[in-house]
Amino acid sequence: MLLALLMCYVGFTALCLSTDRHHGELLHSKPSPHRRRMLRAAGWLLLIASIWPAVTVAGWSQGLVEWCAVLMLSALLLVLLLPYRPRLALILAGVGLLASPVAAFATL
């Protein structure tokens, strides 16, 4: 479930960075249209792909329930971090991106 959690958090952060407001707050620049499309596509792709590790570990019935819980937990974490610690939210997304391959090998 750690891999699904990391993928969901990074996906939500990418979707968050695809907006002008959050991109400006976190990276101090306005996103170009190409960057906005790429961040949006990467975010949705990661959210959709995060179903796979949850279903592989726990099966379809329990895996989808756990995926919904992980989805809500990662969104809640991002929503709580953005107003108070926006740089920490960005750092956690980077750490999650780097830790995802390790979590993928741990599930094998």
**pTM summary value:** 0.93
Q: What is the largest CA-CA distance in the chain?
A: 43
For 47, the token pair is 């959210």
Contact by Cβ (8 Å): 14, 39: yes
What is the extent of the structural domain holding 64?
2-107
In the chain, the number of structural domains is 1
Q: What is the full per-residue pLDDT of the chain (108 aa) written as tens digits?
A: 899 999 999 999 999 999 999 999 889 999 999 999 999 999 999 999 999 999 998 899 999 999 999 999 999 999 999 999 999 999 999 999 999 989 888 876
